[in-house]
Structure 1
């Protein structure tokens, strides 16, 4: 199932690509789509880089111009979505507190992902979440990326609030909490505890954030 490019958070003038850049983007998108189809149809472990390249009629050498390894192409759909989330977070109004900005950004990112004119992009992302949980090597790579994203979010929040993250621990703590809530929501969705599709995922994310305050501060008894 082909993964559609995410809407850009950059100004329109910055999104104009030359012919060479558009061709490179099409090749990258084709490799991601081919890999996604093969991983879902025959499994991640049984799919080779040569097979992915052959699906797009390019060489293995061309594949490695775009991706370092098979893990990277497998996670590309979610990686692009995560990058879009970070770009969205940078655009949130200063009037929002950090947690509000994070929550609004992740919900908006999922909504934008499902509003690209086709449901294939969001379907690919949702299918990938399930594939990751079933594939130990992908889960390990995904968790490494989540750790890096938490560091980036902490730095972004610290800059937004005018804090030094080396001194003030709140940005790092909030980034870790946000990552944990999001992973819990993803696990709940992938286990079939909610409606399918993007609106089901958004509802699960919202419900998890609704419980964050009570879980941290309320008397449980």
Structure 2
């Protein structure tokens, strides 16, 4: 049944307002990240960001709590997408398979520019910015710890386990997280390759979760170290 004209008009106006809000938020994030990358995080002020977008400080703080929030917001968007994707993975997958599949799926969304709040062109530069800014890196690591707790909860629900009495969910999440951090940090610092190549890097690192990592690292011909 067709909607009355006043209802359609109200819905159209509401849609336009939402698009305008999203466009303003995206413009603020884009200009902030551009300035951070161009002149440094600490050297960029909120006034400079708002001047570029021609909005007030009040508008900036309507969308972001701080400059730090602007930088970490794409990471938060990726984390939320990862958790949602993990929840929806087939129950037949073991925890490691499910997390790897979710990682690949979310990276593909980023690569296709389908994840709201994440600019695939700026993403590598943002991660490099975080790595070289001590305050941002500290916040990023704290956020990673909270993310691990959320992942433990999801894996525990999937497997029907109580994480308080069964440590396996926390161990597998910590292992996956550590490998993910090592892989992405090396990849970002190297600053080469595309976003799809990072999945190959992760798989290569995960393949080490076997004799290559847990076996004897010394070759038979290697002499034992001498102790004083």
Global fold match (TM > 0.5): yes
Per the alignment, residue 5 of structure 2 pairs with: none
Question: What RMSD, in angstroms, separates the aligned Cα atoms of the two structures?
Answer: 2.1
**Greater C-alpha radius of gyration:** 2
| C-alpha distance in 1 between matches for 2:95 and 2:38 | 41
| C-alpha distance in 2 between matches for 1:26 and 1:214 | 51
Question: Residue 63 in 1 paired to residue 60 in 2?
Answer: yes
Q: For residue 37 of structure 2, give the secondary structure of its aligned residue in structure 1.
A: helix
The CA deviation at 1:216 is 5.2
The CA deviation at 1:68 is 1.2
Q: For residue 51 of structure 2, give the secondary structure of its aligned residue in structure 1.
A: helix
Alignment of 1:122-133 (within 5 A): 122-133=120-131
| C-alpha distance in 2 between matches for 1:137 and 1:174 | 28
| Residue 42 (structure 1) aligned to one of 32, 35, 39 | 39
Question: Residue 81 in 1 paired to residue 78 in 2?
Answer: yes
Q: Which moved more, 1:101-110 or 1:205-214?
A: 205-214
The superposition leaves residues 116-147 of structure 1 with CA deviations (integer Å, 9 ceiling, x where unpaired) of 38xx9223111111111111111011111111
Consecutive unaligned residues of structure 2, counting only runs of 5 or more, are 1-13, 219-228
Per the alignment, residue 205 of structure 2 pairs with: 208
Per the alignment, residue 103 of structure 2 pairs with: 106
The superposition leaves residues 168-193 of structure 1 with CA deviations (integer Å, 9 ceiling, x where unpaired) of 1111122211111111001211232x
Q: Measured at CA, do residues 55 and 174 of structure 1 come closer, stay the same or move farther in structure 2, by a change above 3 Å? A: same
* Aligned partners of 1:129 and 1:186 also within 8 Å: no
Q: For residue 196 of structure 2, give the secondary structure of its aligned residue in structure 1.
A: helix
The CA deviation at 1:220 is 3.0
Question: Residue 142 in 1 paired to residue 178 in 2?
Answer: no
Aligned length: 203
| C-alpha distance in 1 between matches for 2:211 and 2:25 | 44
Alignment of 1:17-32 (within 5 A): 18-32=15-29
The superposition leaves residues 134-164 of structure 1 with CA deviations (integer Å, 9 ceiling, x where unpaired) of 1111101111111110010000111111111
Per the alignment, residue 177 of structure 1 pairs with: 175
Q: For residue 75 of structure 1, give the secondary structure of its aligned residue in structure 2.
A: helix
The CA deviation at 1:215 is 5.2
Q: Output the TM-score relative to the length of structure 2.
A: 0.82
| C-alpha distance in 1 between matches for 2:124 and 2:25 | 20
Q: Measured at CA, do residues 195 and 41 of structure 1 come closer, stay the same or move farther in structure 2, by a change above 3 Å? A: closer
Does 1 or 2 have the higher relative contact order (CA < 8 Å, sep 6+)?
1
